[in-house]
């Protein structure tokens, strides 16, 4: 029997109804829970993303390569215009009177400079004004203008040779919030987010106001995005106008405001915001923008300049002051008006700022790349320590040994010289630019090993093949000094060697070396053989000394390329790079002490932490006395030998040099040493075509043209003999001590103890000559 219980029925009905209601509620609750959990997880994920972006490596900062700084001191021969050009390259601007960093002013016999601040690897230099006074071509005095004290040395900051950009090609100067002037911050907030300090990341009032303004105007004239939203959009999201992106932007803005303080967000924004273009480089942040448009650090911006930068944020290219000055001026004044309306500036300040011109620098140069071959060489050297990704993103500052002035002169000398050769010699002209006559120049300081200039070819845009480093060419006679270096260990310069036909078995084939003029001179001194670059005596000497010994000497000097110990080695038949040849000659100029070539001096991170410092390194490899003997003969190359045409250039001081012409006339070399510099010039075709000119004809004029400018005004210096070197006046035909009867006399240098002691056997002294000698001795004593 079944009895119905209305209560149960009711209750079961309720149950049923409530069960019916519970399912959607449960589902809704579940869905809400899932959504809540999902959004929570997603928020956590976004928060993590934001946090890591804020706390970690925020921006890809390009690394910069710097030249060596310019040292100024009293007595330095330096043309004022050269200094001014350098200052202009360093973004200094000319003003009537210097008031702040980055300015210079011409004075009647001088120049006032207000130096930029600069962080060197070992110290920070603060901005300061200086006056440089000239007397003729030389600096007479340097005075610090604020203290009126004379300064012994003044360092002009180095030039940027190259910037390693990443794929995005962005440039920015990251600064702390304190570095931005208050009026700049006020100007930015006035036009971009006036309620920045009051909203939580989203500004509902701002959105409504923008909506209303845009509806009233019938076009989009105002955005409702807060600075936080703009930052999110620019740094984390893309510019797509989708609802999802907008929602995500708003959500992330809210999260970011919970995670970070207003100051941190503002600092990030001021460093992040896109501000225009410099050629293909995108400029980000107010710091870089200030330098781009006004040539000055952001801290020195005036009110109207700040207003212009703030105005540019909305559309940097539309308001670009160089292309659209009227629009830029209008936009700047709008910003100033907004500042006035918000009570941020007084009416007087507004009127004064509004009346001023834009004041931007006259032109914006796209960043040029100086010394491109040198920078490539540098990259190659640094690639193990700092791969390209690091160089493109870590903002390293690489200080090099390159002298930008010498580099410029070298580039000009090479191009001028090659053009001259093409003009004078029709067979050197080529229509195809890729097959043109080429050349390279390397300038070193032998005592330190510093690379001062490197020109790897005549046009980097056409070919990036760095002939200084990558080319392997026959040095020809430029190799001979190494043969003589080995030979002079147990010989003197006045010893004789035979210049007569010789036939040598060269891998089963007879080889008969000849001199360049196809003449044989009989007995010649070692000095003459080297000065006149005679092939036959050199081969004879090489065979006497032993080819392995010559190879060993060349290796100790820095020749690393593989060479076979063939007799033709003595005439430079092996292949070497200009770099290693120059390094080997540097040892000759450095009294037998080999300097390791240096291109990088130090590397710093963006915070000024020294990451690496490279030092001058020297190793004694050859006896200084033997080295001096070869150097002395190389001086003779210029005074009497194959490079005697150099005398016509009237260069100051002593010069030792060697010409080189390879087999078949494919390579023309000239390597010249002065007490302070070593410069190597190579001329040839990449494809190995015949140049058909000697080193003296093709490379020497380029060398002379370059050194004329380098040595201009420098003191006339000499190569000092090391201890253990003595001189004796000899008759070069006999090698004996010269007598009054000797028709030819030569003051020859010897290692102590190896000088001749007997008078010339061909012209023995007579009785009456003895009287003259006694008188001569007495005269010397009196003197």
Partner 1 sequence: MVPRTAKEREIRRKHCSAAWKLSLAVAVFGPLLGACSLPAPKTHTSPPPTAISRPPEDLRSLTFPTSPEMRASLQLIERAKEALEENRLDHAISLLEKALSLAPDNPLADLYLADAWNRKGVPERALGFAQRAQMKLSNRPGWLSLALTQEGLALEGLYRFDVAKGRYKEALRLYPGNARARERLRTLGGL
Q: Which residues are catalytic?
A: 192, 477
Only one of the segments 482-490, 510-518, 528-536, 716-724 lies at the binding site for partner 1 (rule: CB under 8 A); that segment is 716-724
Distance, in Å, from the CA atom of 704 to the CA atom of 698, rounded to the nearest integer, reads 11
Helix (H) / strand (E) element for 611: namely strand 610-613
81 counts as binding partner 1 under rule CB under 8 A: no
User: Which of 42, 73, 197, 212 is close enough to bind partner 1 by CB under 8 A?
Assistant: 73
Task: Compose the 741-760 pattern: x for residues touching partner 1 by CB under 8 A, - for all others.
Answer: x-------------------
Question: What letters, b where the CB count within 10 A reaches 16 and e where it falls short, cover 759-769?
Answer: bbeebebeeeb
User: Which of 450, 458, 467, 473 is close enough to bind partner 1 by CB under 8 A?
Assistant: 450
Subset of residues 511 to 570 that bind partner 1, contact rule: CB under 8 A: none
652 counts as binding partner 1 under rule CB under 8 A: no
613 counts as binding partner 1 under rule CB under 8 A: yes
Question: In the complex, what is the shortest distance from the CB of residue 402 to partner 1, in angstroms, rounded to a whole number?
Answer: 12
Question: In the complex, what is the shortest distance from the CB of residue 715 to partner 1, in angstroms, rounded to a whole number?
Answer: 4
Rank residues 247 and 778 by Cβ distance to partner 1 and give the closer one. 778
Subset of residues 134 to 153 that bind partner 1, contact rule: CB under 8 A: 138, 152-153
Only one of the segments 67-75, 223-231, 346-354, 489-497 lies at the binding site for partner 1 (rule: CB under 8 A); that segment is 67-75
Task: Compose the 153-192 pattern: x for residues touching partner 1 by CB under 8 A, - for all others.
Answer: x---------------------------------------
Task: Compose the 572-601 pattern: x for residues touching partner 1 by CB under 8 A, - for all others.
Answer: ------------------xx-x--------
Rank residues 505 and 779 by Cβ distance to partner 1 and give the closer one. 779
User: Which of 624, 672, 735, 759 is close enough to bind partner 1 by CB under 8 A?
Assistant: 624
SS3 500: coil
Return all residues near 124 (Cβ < 8 A) that are at least 6 apart: 117, 118, 608
Question: In the complex, what is the shortest distance from the CB of residue 172 to partner 1, in angstroms, rounded to a whole number?
Answer: 30
207 counts as binding partner 1 under rule CB under 8 A: no
User: Which of 27, 208, 720, 770 is close enough to bind partner 1 by CB under 8 A?
Assistant: 720
Bridge partners, residue 673, by sequence: 656, 678
Pairing assessment for the beta strands 70-73 and 170-172 based on DSSP bridges: unpaired
Only one of the segments 181-189, 611-619, 642-650, 689-697 lies at the binding site for partner 1 (rule: CB under 8 A); that segment is 611-619
122 counts as binding partner 1 under rule CB under 8 A: yes
543 close to 550: Cβ distance less than 8 angstroms: no
Tokens for 441, please give them: 């120049």
85 close to 106: Cβ distance less than 8 angstroms: no
Tokens for 605, please give them: 């991170």
Question: In the complex, what is the shortest distance from the CB of residue 725 to partner 1, in angstroms, rounded to a whole number?
Answer: 10
769 counts as binding partner 1 under rule CB under 8 A: yes
Place of tokens 């005549």: 458
74 counts as binding partner 1 under rule CB under 8 A: yes
620 counts as binding partner 1 under rule CB under 8 A: yes
User: Which of 63, 186, 407, 448 is close enough to bind partner 1 by CB under 8 A?
Assistant: 448
Residue 737: DSSP 8-state: B
Quote the distance between the C-alpha of residue 644 and its chain's center.
35
Question: In the complex, what is the shortest distance from the CB of residue 482 to partner 1, in angstroms, rounded to a whole number?
Answer: 21
Tokens for 256, please give them: 């970011």
Rank residues 152 and 517 by Cβ distance to partner 1 and give the closer one. 152
- In the sheet with 600-604, reading across from the earlier edge strand, the strands are 160-164, 63-66, 397-400, 600-604, 610-613
445 counts as binding partner 1 under rule CB under 8 A: yes
Cα Rg for the chain, rounded, in angstroms? 38
782 counts as binding partner 1 under rule CB under 8 A: yes
Return all residues near 220 (Cβ < 8 A) that are at least 6 apart: 214
Continuous H helices in 488-561:
526-531, 535-545, 547-557
Helix (H) / strand (E) element for 355: namely helix 347-355
User: Which of 330, 766, 773, 777 is close enough to bind partner 1 by CB under 8 A?
Assistant: 766
* Residue length of the chain: 783
617 counts as binding partner 1 under rule CB under 8 A: yes
- 688: nearest Cα among 718, 665, 672: 665
Subset of residues 10 to 49 that bind partner 1, contact rule: CB under 8 A: none
User: Which of 229, 447, 599, 662 is close enough to bind partner 1 by CB under 8 A?
Assistant: 447
729 counts as binding partner 1 under rule CB under 8 A: no
Residue 55: DSSP 8-state: H
User: Which of 75, 359, 433, 608 is close enough to bind partner 1 by CB under 8 A?
Assistant: 75
121 counts as binding partner 1 under rule CB under 8 A: yes
361 close to 305: Cβ distance less than 8 angstroms: no
Tokens for 49, please give them: 């993303």
Only one of the segments 70-78, 127-135, 281-289, 362-370 lies at the binding site for partner 1 (rule: CB under 8 A); that segment is 70-78
505 counts as binding partner 1 under rule CB under 8 A: no
Please state, in angstroms and as integers, the Cα–Cα distance from residue 173 to each residue in 170, 203, 289, 439, 524, following that order. 10, 29, 9, 39, 67
* Number of chain positions touching partner 1 (CB under 8 A): 46
Is the sign of the CA dihedral 86, 89, 95, 98 positive or negative? negative
740 counts as binding partner 1 under rule CB under 8 A: yes
Count Cα atoms within 13 angstroms, Cβ side, for 249. 24
SS3 12: helix
Distance, in Å, from the CA atom of 504 to the CA atom of 240, rounded to the nearest integer, reads 79
- 755: nearest Cα among 726, 723, 733: 726
Q: What CA dihedral angle connects 422, 423, 426 and 429, to 10 degrees?
A: 40
Sites of contact with partner 1 (CB under 8 A): 71, 73-77, 121-122, 138, 152-153, 445-448, 450, 590-591, 593, 613, 615-620, 624, 675-676, 714-715, 717, 720, 722-723, 740-741, 766, 768-769, 772, 775, 778-779, 782-783
């Amino acid at each position: 029997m079944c009895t119905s219980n209305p209560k149960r029925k009711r209750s079961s009905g309720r149950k049923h109804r409530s069960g019916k209601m519970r399912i959607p509620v449960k589902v809704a609750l579940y869905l809400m829970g899932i959504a809540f959990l999902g959004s929570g997880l997603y928020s956590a994920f976004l928060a993590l993303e934001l946090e890591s972006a804020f706390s970690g490596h925020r921006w890809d900062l390009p690394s910069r390569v710097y030249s060596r700084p310019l040292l100024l001191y009293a007595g330095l021969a330096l043309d004022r215009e050269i200094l001014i050009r350098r200052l202009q390259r360093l973004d200094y601007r000319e003003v009537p009177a210097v008031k702040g960093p980055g300015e210079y002013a011409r004075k009647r016999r001088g120049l006032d400079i207000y130096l930029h601040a600069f962080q060197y690897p070992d110290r920070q230099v603060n901005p300061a004004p200086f006056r440089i006074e000239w007397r003729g071509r030389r600096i007479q005095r340097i005075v610090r203008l604020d203290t009126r004290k004379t300064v012994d040395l003044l360092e002009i900051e180095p030039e940027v040779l190259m910037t390693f950009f990443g794929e995005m090609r962005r440039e920015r100067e990251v600064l702390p919030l304190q570095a931005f002037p208050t009026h700049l911050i006020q100007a930015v907030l006035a036009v971009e987010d006036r309620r920045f300090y009051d909203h939580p990341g989203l500004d509902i009032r701002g959105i409504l106001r923008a909506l209303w303004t845009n509806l009233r105007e019938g076009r989009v004239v105002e955005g409702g995005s807060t600075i936080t939203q703009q930052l999110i959009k620019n740094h984390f999201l893309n510019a797509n106008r989708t609802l999802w992106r907008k929602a995500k932007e708003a959500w992330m803005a809210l999260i970011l405001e919970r995670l970070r303080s207003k100051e941190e967000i503002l600092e990030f924004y001021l460093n992040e915001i896109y501000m225009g273009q410099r050629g293909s480089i995108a400029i980000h942040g107010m710091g870089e923008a200030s330098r781009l448009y006004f040539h000055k650090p952001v801290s020195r911006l005036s009110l109207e300049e700040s207003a212009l930068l703030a105005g540019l944020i909305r559309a940097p290219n539309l308001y670009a002051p160089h292309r659209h000055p009227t629009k830029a001026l209008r936009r700047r004044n709008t910003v100033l008006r907004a500042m006035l309306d918000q009570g941020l500036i007084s009416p007087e300040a507004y009127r004064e700022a509004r009346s001023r011109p834009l004041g931007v620098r006259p032109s914006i140069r796209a960043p040029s790349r100086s010394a491109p071959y040198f920078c490539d060489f540098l990259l190659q050297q640094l690639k193990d320590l700092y791969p390209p990704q690091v160089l493109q993103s870590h903002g390293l500052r690489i200080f090099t040994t390159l002298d930008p002035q010498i580099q410029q002169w070298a580039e000009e000398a090479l191009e001028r010289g090659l053009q001259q050769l093409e003009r004078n010699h029709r067979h050197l002209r080529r229509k195809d630019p890729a097959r043109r006559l080429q050349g390279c120049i390397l300038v070193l300081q032998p005592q330190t090993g510093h690379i001062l200039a490197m020109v790897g070819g005549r046009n980097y845009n056409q070919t990036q093949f760095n002939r200084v480093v990558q080319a392997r060419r026959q040095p020809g006679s430029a190799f001979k000094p190494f043969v003589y270096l080995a030979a002079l260990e147990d010989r003197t310069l006045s010893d004789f060697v035979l210049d007569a036909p010789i036939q040598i078995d060269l891998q089963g084939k007879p080889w008969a070396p000849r001199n360049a003029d196809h003449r044989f001179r009989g007995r010649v001194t070692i000095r003459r053989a080297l000065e006149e670059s005679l092939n036959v005596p050199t081969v004879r000497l090489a065979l006497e000394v032993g080819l392995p010994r010559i190879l060993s000497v060349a290796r100790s000097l820095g020749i690393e390329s593989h060479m076979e110990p063939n007799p033709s080695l003595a005439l430079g038949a092996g292949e070497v790079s200009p770099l290693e040849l120059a390094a080997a000659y540097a040892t000759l100029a450095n009294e037998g002490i080999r300097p390791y070539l240096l291109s990088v001096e130090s590397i710093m991170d963006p915070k000024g932490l020294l990451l690496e410092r490279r030092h001058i390194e020297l190793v004694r490899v050859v006896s200084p006395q033997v080295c001096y003997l070869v150097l002395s003969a190389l001086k003779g190359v210029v005074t009497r030998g194959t490079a005697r045409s150099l005398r016509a250039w009237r260069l100051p001081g002593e010069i030792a040099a060697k010409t080189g012409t390879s087999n078949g006339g494919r390579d023309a070399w000239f390597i010249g040493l002065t007490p302070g510099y070593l410069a190597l010039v190579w001329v040839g075709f990449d494809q190995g075509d015949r140049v058909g000119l000697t080193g003296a004809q093709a490379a020497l004029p380029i060398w002379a043209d370059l050194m004329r400018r380098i040595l201009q005004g420098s003191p006339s210096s000499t190569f000092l003999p090391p201890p253990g070197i003595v001189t004796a006046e000899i008759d070069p035909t006999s090698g004996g001590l010269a007598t009054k009867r000797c028709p030819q006399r030569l003051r020859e240098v010897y290692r102590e103890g190896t000088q001749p002691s007997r008078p010339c056997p061909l012209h023995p002294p007579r009785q009456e000559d003895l009287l003259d000698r006694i008188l001569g001795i007495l005269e010397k004593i009196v003197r």
